[in-house]
């Protein structure tokens, strides 16, 4: 592995390791330690050998910024221990993942992907987002994995995951076409422009008229940005809005229904200081409503919008 590949996998692995540790720790109330390391390219049939017994496969399909799907694999035993911890148990394993446990696993990796994609979006300068993840359980059989994953080569990134009740490795599997896309987006692709050779001195060209491009204004000096990070801003999750006459407002009673200007399946909006910066959906975490981000502007756009 050359220096550029090593740097690329360090960034990718670090993004997912940090996101997974944060989400796992938040949802269980316990401290998780996760370390990433690049593995070897694998054929689909060889993925079965990464674990023993039944394996949980998590499929995350990109809908923006990238095309294709990546996969997580982890042993059923450790996966069910993780879910039990999230649901308030002491980490008891079960023989299957179904019902509420399966939903909890899906929600967990939705949050992992949301957090990791935010980091990748900042690195790549554009928004990456996925649809909801899919959860499957397969026996560790090469033929079953080849049928589920399809043909082609997968790059393995191993996430060594430890906690008092768990010691296992979660593997991220990047199909080669998706991996090449991520490399190009982050500036590590084979077609990344090489430094231009020094040109011989030439006569200065004749002056030409210059028209300044339309822009939202320069970014704040990054050296001064740290001074602003402690400022508190109002954050509002908006499901929709409508307008009413004062007379209609005064007629409202308990049980009245207001029709909003948004369809039931439309994304919910996140406004900071009155400015739209992200979209997502309402979820439930530990009995409380929460907001999961599915689309978000780049860091540069967010700073400009709040200026």
**pLDDT one digit per residue (tens) for the chain, 307 residues:** 688 888 999 999 999 999 999 989 988 888 999 999 887 899 988 888 898 889 999 999 999 999 999 999 999 999 999 999 988 888 899 988 888 888 889 989 988 998 898 889 888 888 899 987 999 999 888 888 889 988 889 999 999 999 988 999 999 999 999 999 999 999 987 654 444 454 554 544 444 443 434 444 454 455 555 656 667 778 888 888 888 888 888 888 887 888 888 777 788 888 887 788 888 888 877 677 888 888 887 766 676 666 6
Q: Is residue 37 part of a domain?
A: yes
Burial of 44 (0-12, 13-18, 19+ CB in 10 A): buried
Paired tokens of 101: 């446990």
Co-location of 113 and 13 in the same domain: yes
Paired tokens of 49: 């050998």
Phi-psi label, residue 283: left if phi above 0, alpha if psi -120 to 50, beta otherwise? beta
Co-location of 169 and 235 in the same domain: no
Phi, psi (5° rounding) for residue 13?
-60, -40
Calpha distance 147→149 (Å, rounded): 6
Q: Is residue 164 part of a domain?
A: yes
Co-location of 158 and 53 in the same domain: yes
Q: Count the domains in the chain.
A: 2
Co-location of 140 and 238 in the same domain: no
Calpha distance 154→49 (Å, rounded): 14
Q: Is residue 36 part of a domain?
A: yes
Q: Is residue 216 part of a domain?
A: no
CATH number of 37's domain: 3.40.1550.10
Sign of CA dihedral 145, 148, 153, 157: negative
Full residue range of the structural domain in which residue 242 is found: 231-246+261-306
Q: Is residue 251 part of a domain?
A: no
Co-location of 168 and 272 in the same domain: no
pLDDT at 240: 82
Nearest CA-CA partner of 260 in 250, 247, 270, 269: 269
Q: Is residue 201 part of a domain?
A: no
Co-location of 132 and 70 in the same domain: yes
Paired tokens of 263: 């369809």
Q: Is residue 50 part of a domain?
A: yes
Co-location of 127 and 34 in the same domain: yes
CATH number of 294's domain: 2.30.330.10
Q: Is residue 221 part of a domain?
A: no
Report the length, in residues, of the chain: 307
DSSP state of 251: T
Paired tokens of 148: 């589920």
Co-location of 172 and 240 in the same domain: no
Q: 279: Cβ–Cβ under 8 A, 6 or more apart, which residues?
A: 267, 268, 269, 270, 293, 294, 295, 296
CA distances from 201 to 197, 205, 208, 239 (A): 12, 12, 20, 60
Calpha distance 64→126 (Å, rounded): 9
Co-location of 171 and 275 in the same domain: no
Co-location of 172 and 273 in the same domain: no
pLDDT at 162: 93
């Amino acid at each position: 592995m050359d220096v550029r590949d090593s740097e690329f996998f360090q960034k990718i692995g670090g993004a997912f390791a940090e996101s997974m540790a944060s989400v796992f720790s938040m949802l269980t109330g316990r401290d998780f330690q996760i370390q990433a390391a690049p593995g070897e390219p694998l054929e689909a049939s060889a993925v079965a050998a990464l674990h023993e017994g039944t394996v949980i496969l998590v499929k995350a399909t990109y809908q923006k910024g990238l095309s294709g799907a990546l996969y997580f694999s982890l042993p059923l035993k450790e996966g069910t221990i993780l879910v039990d911890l999230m649901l308030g148990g002491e980490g008891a394993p079960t023989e299957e993942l179904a019902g509420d446990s399966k939903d909890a696993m899906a929600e967990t990796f939705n949050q992992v992907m949301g957090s990791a994609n935010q980091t990748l979006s900042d690195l790549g300068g554009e928004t990456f987002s996925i649809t909801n993840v899919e959860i499957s359980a397969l026996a560790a059989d090469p033929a079953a994995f080849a049928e589920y994953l399809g043909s082609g080569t997968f790059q393995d990134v191993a996430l060594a995951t430890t906690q008092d009740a768990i010691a296992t490795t979660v593997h991220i599997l990047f199909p080669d076409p998706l991996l090449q896309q991520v490399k190009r987006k982050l500036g590590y692709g084979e077609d990344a422009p090489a430094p231009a050779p020094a040109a011989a001195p030439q006569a200065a060209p004749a002056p030409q008229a210059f028209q300044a491009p339309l822009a939202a204004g320069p970014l704040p000096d990054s050296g001064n940005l740290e001074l602003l990070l402690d400022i508190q801003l109002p954050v509002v999750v908006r499901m929709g809005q409508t307008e009413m006459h004062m007379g209609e407002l005064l007629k409202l009673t308990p049980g009245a229904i207001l029709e909003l200007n948004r369809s039931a399946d439309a994304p919910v909006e996140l406004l900071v200081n009155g400015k739209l910066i992200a979209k997502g959906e309402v979820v439930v975490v530990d009995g409380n409503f929460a907001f999961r981000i599915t689309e978000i502007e780049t860091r540069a756009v967010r700073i400009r919008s709040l200026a």
